[in-house]
Amino acid sequence: MSLRDGSRAATSTLKKIAADMSNIIESLDTRELHFEGEEVDSEVLNDPKGAVCIPFSAIYHTRGFKEPGTQTYLTGCPVRVRVLEVERFTSTKKVPSPNVYTIELTHGEFTWHVKRKFKHFQEFHRELLRYKAFVRIPIPTRSHTVRRQSIKRGEPRQMPSLPHTAESTVREEHFSSRRKQLEDYLTKILKMPMYRNYHGTMEFIGVSQLSFIHDLGPKGIEGLIMKRSGGHRIPGLNCCGQGRMCYRWSKRWLVVKDSFLLYMKPDSGAIAFVLLVDKEFNIKIGQKETETKYGLQIDNLSRSLILKCNSYRHAQWWRQGIDEFIRKHGKDFLTEHRFGSYAAVQENTLAKWYVNAKWYFEDVANAMEAAKEEIFITDWWLSPEIFMKRPVVEGNRWRLDCILKRKAQQGVRIFVMLYKEVELALGINSEYSKRTLMRLHPNIKVMRHPDHVSSSVYLWAHHEKLVIIDQSVAFVGGIDLAYGRWDDDEHRLTDVGSVKRMTALKSVSTTNLASAAESSECIPLQSRDPSLESRSFQRGTDDAPDTSKMKGIGKPKKFSRFSIYKHLHKHGMHQADSVSSIDSDSNRGSIRSLKTGVGELLGETRFWHGKDYCNFVFKDWVQLDKPFADFIDRYTTPRMPWHDISSVVHGKAARDVARHFIQRWNFTKIMKPKYRSLSYPFLLPKSQQTANELKYQVPDAVPATVQVIRSAADWSAGIKYHEESIHSAYVHVIKNSKHYIYIENQFFISCADDKVVWNKIGDAIAQRILKAHRENKRFRVYVVIPLLPGFEGDISTGGGNALQAIMHFNYRTMCRGENSILGQLKTEVGDKWINYISFCGLRTYAELEGKLVTELIYVHSKLLIADDNTVIIGSANINDRSMLGKRDSEMAVIVQDTETVPSVMDGEDYSAGKFAQSLRLRCFRVVLGGSDLSPEHQDPVCDKFFKEVWISTAARNATIFDKVFRCLPSDQVNNLTQLRDFINKPKLANDDPAKAAEELKKIRGFLVQFPFRFLEEEYLLPSVGTKESMVPMEVWT
């Protein structure tokens, strides 16, 4: 045998010995450990105040408990030990009962207790001795050699010894010295990184990777337990049989925090379940209750979790430890709150309102840009390619998908939940949205819910619209991050968005600005290849755009409400080398250049690109996978303006909103097998104790009292009992209002008959008005809703079946039938109802390609203001779908003012809330015209305002629109025969545009009276045989 063969044989033998050694060590129950250099006394360590926090994002990087390099402790911070008390348990058995030591440990800001018997100390000591022996064995592997060297560098420390005296021989008077001995022993062990970082030590003192994360709040009890599978309150997730054979028992590490429990898999460190504390939270122990010897059952609205302990006393320790900790730190979560909400009333919360999406989108974009750890988004519909800041002057920087990709690359975790639509019924293409977002970066996770077949939820939708930043700032309202939503107070109908090229004769449309953005790559406009741009502009020579379509586009028009061209002249900047953005809202005159590589440009920039320019009653969205291609002709069809309301809250209220998102996310993760993989993590709620440490604050927010309210149920959030706190809040605020109610809503379907409609909002309004009438007091109700429901359908032929069905229920609530509000009022007050309540819609007009056009403004708001001091803003419509809780899922906030300003109410001095009054004045300014400070808008109750401003403006505007455009819906059309005659009659807008233009100058704002008599002689519910008639009635209500 050659020398080389000999050396090979020796090497292979060594490898075998090394493997055998490793196996022996494993069987000795010794485990891998990472050492951090020398053993250092805690006295040498830094002061605990200087301790480095473990970032919250560590929850997404948990590792197996035996893996080296897991960060558990705060860097540079000692663990202090005190043995507090000794409990001696009496026993009926002859064996002397052991003493139980309560040990208090402190690490930085965290203090916790563990209970251990002397035998636990002995077992722990033996394990450390085995571990020490393992380290001394020279196993010839690189990792082990490095490990041994890292310890040798310091003086090898004698391992502290345990007292040898048996427990039974220790007299009571010697307990204090025994306590001191154990205290010293543990203190010495915890000073030595070699032993402190050993997983056996961590288990002994009850710590894990999630123990010392500041934002998870105080540290509760932790430890290894056995848990039983099943117990979910979700159909299809539990074992089919009840027999014991059906259950699996698994070893898990249980962690208790102030508002939730979780367990982890020790092998991988993966968080395997999160159980939120709620009003049903309860702990039982014992064989009878849990069907398990030494069992412990923890219940909440979503699950009955069964755990198994070593002994009855062990189970009692767990119960007591969890119960005391939760009652001390999480008592707000254990009770039901006002209106039956899961969330407490949070005082001194910063809040801000938004009227229309321009300012909402901007603040959302800025908040996303400031995110450090997490962004949560849930929408009924999300369009990844929408621009959050307009006009677009920084290329794609503020396009939603680009913002999210940028943040994901910075390490922010982004979680998006989308409503999974019934594809036959809706064309919102959530599958495209999910695919587009998931392709951007691995840190972006998107779920869709519900699965219609498996969950048998065909009728209901996830309707909330939330954006939550770092669980500290939460946007709540009615505005989806989707096409068609962006609008400002101008509510423009047209957006042909031309630019005039000063060096050429032909004007060219800026469609090209967006054409390069077709690719979903996020490249700033400035960095594009100029040749691309110039190529697209060269079409002027051989492929000239149709000049008839471009005629007069670049000129400032008589009717255009906003023109950058005008602004440039006004500010003396018309020679600027740019397509300029001058914020129409500010006097800063900030101009930004758009380097297009084609010489000097002037004109109006586009606000709505591609699919964002829409009129969904005229035509519903198609081909959403081509975001920048127009789908309606913007030269012939006006867009439908979008009027909407949203809000933002901070601190504890934002934590409550985040908690709802987390509950839904974790439920969906369990519910859908495809999301059970580790790539979709469980989310953890941050502690309320750190909620006011705001790293980012939305500007101009005011302090107020805020409560989060919702509609949620088993199908939507996995909870045993449904919640309808939005409905309760609406009814309560209406009943208790003193002066007025202002409502803007997308639907108005109420007045319960307990057969078809069940929500009580309409009845509450009628009863409140009757109360005012009986007491002979002034009381006003303002209701603003869209003139037509938002369903595709040609109203000139009567509209589609869906559109008519919604019209039926809206009219049934307002004025048709004895259950309606006016029906209830007329029986008691006759025609005097007109002094109490007004129903209006919004409409506007413009000039498009030389023609006068009009369109209704789609009111999508979900807003209630009462008495200038209480506001409800959310996603919930006034209908059964949104209000009953068991149907669509919804989210809202009720804001009550604490800061007041002097005002007038019903002619008398009044302290108005800052938040509520400023919001009402903005809404009045938008719909009535004028300014925020119009003195006539100050008092919303006096006759002068109600009759001479509100009602007369709405009536005058409606009359002028009728005269010029012969608009639909109209009181002159009571049936379909009249409808045909009505649309065939000539319109002033066509016959005499100059006279029509003169008439239109008299219009103020957008407010028009709601036509009560439109199609009143027709039966508007779907007729038998249509596909709409096969749908259950509750789909429309």
Active site residues: 463, 465, 470, 860, 862, 867
Tell me how crowded residue 122 is: count the other CB atoms within 10 A of its CB: 12
CB-based contact 901:914 (threshold 8 Å)? yes
CB-based contact 801:1028 (threshold 8 Å)? yes
- Candidates 517, 608, 526, 602; CA nearest to 566 is 602
Angle, in degrees to the nearest 10, between helices 821-829 and 801-814 = 30
Bridge partners of residue 1007, in order along the sequence: 842
Classify 569 in phi/psi space as left (phi over 0), alpha (psi -120 to 50) or beta. Answer: alpha
Tell me how crowded residue 353 is: count the other CB atoms within 10 A of its CB: 26
CA contacts within 13 A on the Cβ side of 92: 0
The residue whose two tokens read 């709150």 is 337
Which runs of consecutive H residues, i.e. helices, occur in 380-463?
400-409, 430-438, 452-455
Q: How far apart are CA 883 and CA 877, in angstroms?
A: 7
Q: How far apart are CA 293 and CA 287, in angstroms?
A: 5
Would you call 993 exposed, middle or buried from its count of C-beta atoms within 10 A (0-12, 13-18, 19+)? middle
CB-based contact 68:698 (threshold 8 Å)? no
- 3-class DSSP state for residue 73? coil
What do you get for the CA distance between the two ends of the chain, in Å? 92
| HEC letters along 874-926 | ECCCECHHHHCCCCCEEEEEEEEECCEEEEEECCEEEEEEHHHHHHHHHHHHH
CA contacts within 13 A on the Cβ side of 865: 27
Asked, as a colleague might, if the bond just before 993 is cis with ω within 30 of 0, I would say no
**Amino acid letter for position 624:** L
CB-based contact 225:242 (threshold 8 Å)? no
Q: How far apart are CA 698 and CA 367, in angstroms?
A: 7
DSSP single-letter state for residue 951: I
Q: How far apart are CA 297 and CA 227, in angstroms?
A: 10
Tell me how crowded residue 348 is: count the other CB atoms within 10 A of its CB: 12
- 3-class DSSP state for residue 250? strand
- Candidates 167, 304, 285, 170; CA nearest to 228 is 304
Task: Name every residue whose Cβ is closer than 8 Å to that of residue 17 and which is 6 or more positions away in sequence.
Answer: 140
CB-based contact 617:792 (threshold 8 Å)? yes
Q: How far apart are CA 763 and CA 768, in angstroms?
A: 8
Q: Which secondary-structure segment (H or E) carries 600?
A: none
**Could you tell me what percentage of the chain is helix, strand and coil, using 3-state DSSP and rounding each to the nearest 5?**
35, 20, 45
- 3-class DSSP state for residue 784? strand
Phi, psi of 508, deg, nearest 5 = -125, 140
- 3-class DSSP state for residue 843? strand
Q: How far apart are CA 949 and CA 928, in angstroms?
A: 8
Task: Name every residue whose Cβ is closer than 8 Å to that of residue 755 and which is 6 or more positions away in sequence.
Answer: none
Phi, psi of 418, deg, nearest 5 = -115, 150
Tell me how crowded residue 355 is: count the other CB atoms within 10 A of its CB: 23
Q: How far apart are CA 259 and CA 660, in angstroms?
A: 13
